[in-house]
Structure 1
Amino acid sequence: MALFKPTKIPVYPKLGEKVTQDTLYWKNYKAPVQIKEFGSVTNIDISPVPPHNFAVTAFTRIHIYGPISQEPVKTFTQFKNTAFCGRFRSDGQLLVAGCEDAVVRLFDVSGKVALRKFKGHTKAVHVTDFTSQQYHIITGSDDYSCRLWDIPNATELTRYQEHTDYVRCGLTSKLNRDLFITGSYDHSLKVFDARVDKSVMTMDHGQPVESLLLYPSESLLVSAGGRYVKVWDLLKGGQLLVSLRNHHKTVTSVCLSSSGQRMLSASLDRHVKVYDTTNYKVVHNFDYATSILSLALAPDDKAIAVGMTDGILSIKHRKTPDESNELSGQQRQQPAHRAVVKGRNYIPKQDDYLVSKPVKQHLAKYDTHLKKFNVSKALDAALESWTRQKKPEIPVAVMKEMDRRGTLKNALAGRDEQEVSQLLHFVIGNVIDPRFAPILIVAAEMILDIYHSVIGQSSVVDRQLMRLQDILEKEIDYQQELLEVLGMLDTVFAFCVPRKEVACPGVDRPNCLTEGEASTSRPQVQAT
């Protein structure tokens, strides 16, 4: 007796994530190191000099972490209230930070006590940064002002009072010691020159501005606020180049990769998105557990640091080539549990006779019923809730096998209202799928032939039949429109094909027709 052949379930290609060079590059990070801070991590700054320590501003403290260490190598606690915006100087020796008590403090990274205190603001200072000259700092406050300070004398040099709301972000030019830019909750970006007593350029972001970023050439400025990330051309007077809206909550921070070819944005929607700076399309995405307030990228993209609202500092370190190769080698290894069978390495001789052990055949539930010719139960087993929702190819394959055997009509017959409704629900959900349409259309026709006499007696079945009719009519309309478009494209492509010229007697004949024109031209009759 021949063995029963199980129903062959076709394997359809899966539409997974497209693997690109960016995907491989940005996924080449280790599992994140998570450090719990005392409050929300509002700012992360990376020292520009080796070993590129992290300055993390959270609550009333600024912790400095080494590139590998999970414990702070230095802590500044000279703040009475919440600290903001701890920034390194370009030589990595000094650090400046604002505070909710309106005092700006300057620290020596190797010391503990504040070297200078700058007093003058009347409200919380959220913006601090060093100028490229290294002896001046700029600050921005909730008192709507931004100021320029002299470090040696701890005195105020210039004050600008042009914003009409909180100043929450700012940065200085690395190429010009007199230029700096601020962003405010009044939706404006302002470019200031310390040699002039007012701003030299103003741009309207349209949303409260949360973060700013300058390209290395300083010809482009990036502003983030609301759901928007906008790119401005400073060489053209602040012209808007690109407006990106890829987040669905407020964007809180932006930064640039070491190569300058990728830009990263972090948002309260728990995502960090990576953009290609040539076309500003999203090429990768990172997911985090809670809303993100700050973001920083280490030199050579060796680490990504993210600060969140729940006080978690998450740091992902890039894998070394040896670690990547070791991981791929581990994935290729055999599992640890290995059965040792006596004689498995025995080489049979020429006169040996092999006695094969019969292999027990394990059948699926629907195949078990098919083997017993219980076609109705086989179809019921294939249409179980999980199978029809997660693996619709299984019920379709069973129907196809029954149709091949000529028993599909028997399997569909003799059902009550609930079972017919379940069948129609499956057909409606998959009939327009080109993989399943051929057999499901046949099944739908059989259902109509079997139960046409009871149509009108069940409101549930009637509604499903009307819905099936609407879906099929729409699909037919789509197919007709596609055929019309295909005809239009064929015409366009036909005209795009270069036409050959017909050989004419003579040397130079400008009046010679092309091959297409010669075949369609008609002789003209001249009037006598």
Structure 2
Amino acid sequence: MKLKRFLLRYYPPGIVIEYEKGGHLKTKSIDLLDLSSEYVSYELVAEIMQSEPLITESRADQVKQLILRLKQKKGQQNHRRFCFTKELKAHILPLTNVAFNKSGSRFITGSYDRTCRVWDTASGTELHTLEGHRNVVYAIAFNNPYGDKIATGSFDKTCKLWCVETGKCFHTFQGHMAEIVCLAFNPQSTLVATGSMDATAKLWNVETGEEVATLDGHTAEVLSLCFDTLGNQLVTGSFDHTVAIWDVASGRRIHTLVGHSGEISNVQFNWDCSLIVTGSMDKTCKLWEASSGKCVATLGGHKEEVLDVCFDLTGQIIATASADGTAQVFSATTHQSLLTLKGHEGEISKVSFSPQGNRVLTASSDKTARLWDVQSGVCLQVLEGHRDEIFSCVFNYEGDTIITGSKDNTCRIWS
């Protein structure tokens, strides 16, 4: 094995090693999730060198400089105030979802008008209209970090794969017997997973367009799915009140997570793949050990359904969004409720952390999105101007741009 170069990863903090083995270029990452300004760099360098044989004494100074750059970036906590920059009359019918590419230079919108549109973020110019679906385009995603492909899942029971540069359709994945409502690329961008109202999830080969596996076992609609950060496992959440963990290579179900008494609204792995968080219509959020499938905590406090749930990028904090009009922030280690975010006048359907982890973004049926401080729970800003409920909101990778998508057929760019 021969070390070729180092790459920095800011969110979450880490160093990626690019190395050669058997004539092939490979990568591995050193996660520095607990990196803080108090950490003495040379002690950390010694720890890294001890655990990673590819990093020799001659590279110690280089690694130390990379850690200092990561600390500097972490110290530049983003306290910006977002300004409304543009409203895009994106579709002739309501939007369903919005998503950024890794750099944030482009974003996509799905709609009830049966199309997905590709936009230039800086100018607000429409680059492509992806046409061909015969029903609502509900689930959309870029193949980040690469960003050269888009997957769209539709109520017409198909998923399509598109070229970002040309807008050309590479493949149409056919096989589901009902609407596709969720999808994701694996981290390597070799597979697309789709979840459907037919109670199955499927894996598709990006290169050939062929079905790789049908993940069969749920007894009701599969509403949410997520790959782990290595792409080895997939987790699915269903209206049957259960969550399943699947081995991607074999398509075999490893664990069934039983404990919720209502439909599952969202599922997510944390960064190091050790934990899974689930939100449910039973008004709770649960934390599960990924390796055993054991429930380690039930996070309560909401008076109505939990509609969305997410980890911050380090996997140490959890946020929940509820139909009761509040969001909550929990510690993933102590399982304690840290904050209740109050201020919205309608249900909150989406919640997400800024990449830096110091802000929470919520979207509500009260026609506003809100930014909250994670330490104090104070509402820092109300993003208003939409004329109907907001049901999608996303940060770009740098955390300096937000897109909100609304039932009013528009999306708004905030930067």
1:151 aligns with 2:206: yes
Match for residue 301 of structure 2?
246
Identical residues among aligned pairs (%):
21
Pick the structure with greater CA Rg. Answer: 1
Aligned runs of 1:403-418 on 2, under 5 Å?
none
Letter of the 1:306 counterpart: A
Once the two structures are superposed, the pairs formed by residues 62-77 of structure 1 within 5 Å of their partners are 62-64=116-118, 75-77=129-131
1:171 matched residue in structure 2: 226
Does the C-alpha gap of structure 1 residues 267 and 104 become closer, same or farther in structure 2, counting only changes over 3 Å?
same
Task: Determine whether 1:281 maps to 2:348.
Answer: no
The 2-side partners of 1:54 and 1:270 are apart by 28
Separation in 2 of the partners of 1:36 and 1:291? 24
Deviations 1:440-483 (A, max 9, x none): xxxxxxxxxxxxxxxxxxxxxxxxxxxxxxxxxxxxxxxxxxxx
The count of aligned residue pairs is 292
Where structure 1 has 5 or more consecutive residues not aligned to the other structure, the ranges are: 1-24, 321-528
What amino acid is the match of 1:189? V
Cα deviations by residue, 1:238-282 (Å, 9 ceiling, x for unpaired): 111121223222222222334444322223333333333343313
CA-to-aligned-CA distance 1:219-243 (integer Å, 9 cap, x gap): 00001111111110123x1111121
Of 161-170 and 273-282, more deviation after overlay is shown by: 273-282
Q: 2:347 aligns with which of 266, 272, 291?
A: 291
TM-score by length of 2: 0.61
Given that 2:271 and 2:314 are in contact with CA atoms closer than 8 Å, whether structure 1 keeps it comes out as no
CA distance in 1 between partners of 2:360 and 2:107 (Å): 10
For 1:307 and 1:96, how far apart are their aligned partners in 2? 26
Q: Deviations over 1:389-420 (max 9, x none)?
A: xxxxxxxxxxxxxxxxxxxxxxxxxxxxxxxx
Equivalent position of 1:340 in the other structure: none
Residue type of the partner of 1:270? Answer: G
Q: Give the alignment's Cα RMSD to 1 decimal.
A: 3.3
Question: Of the candidates 227, 231, 239, which is equivalent to residue 287 of structure 2?
Answer: 231
Partner SS, residue 299 of structure 1: coil
Give the AA of the match of 1:145: T
Note closer, same or farther for the CA distance 1:174–1:258 as it changes in structure 2 (3 Å cut): closer
Aligned partner of residue 210 in structure 1, secondary structure:
strand
1:89 aligned to 2:143? yes
Q: Which residue in 2 is equivalent to 1:180?
A: 234
Deviation at 1:106, TM superposition (A): 0.9
1:427 maps to which residue? none
1:186-205 equivalence runs, <5 A: 186-196=240-250, 198-204=252-258, 205=260
1:306 aligns with 2:363: yes
User: Whose helix fraction is larger, Structure 1's or Structure 2's?
Assistant: 1
The 5 A counterparts of 1:47-66 are: 47=101, 49-51=102-104, 53-59=106-112, 60-64=114-118
Larger strand proportion of the pair:
2
Q: Are the structure 2 counterparts of residues 307 and 72 from structure 1 closer, same or farther at C-alpha, using a change threshold of 3 Å?
A: farther
> How far apart are 1:110 and its partner, in Å?
2.3
- In the alignment, which of 311, 315, 319 is matched to residue 264 of structure 1? 319
Which of residues 267, 275, 278 is equivalent to 1:220? 275
Cα gap change, 1:287/1:111 in structure 2, threshold over 3 Å: closer, same or farther?
Answer: farther
- 1:336-485 aligned within 5 A: none
For 1:87, the aligned partner's letter is A
Question: Displacement of 1:183 after TM fit?
Answer: 0.8
Q: 1: CA distance between counterparts of 2:306 and 2:90?
A: 22
Match of 2:188 in 1: 133
Distance 1:108 1:303, change over 3 A: farther
Residue 219 of structure 2 aligns to a residue whose secondary structure is coil
Contact 1:98 1:104 in 2 (8 A): yes
AA of the residue aligned to 1:82: V
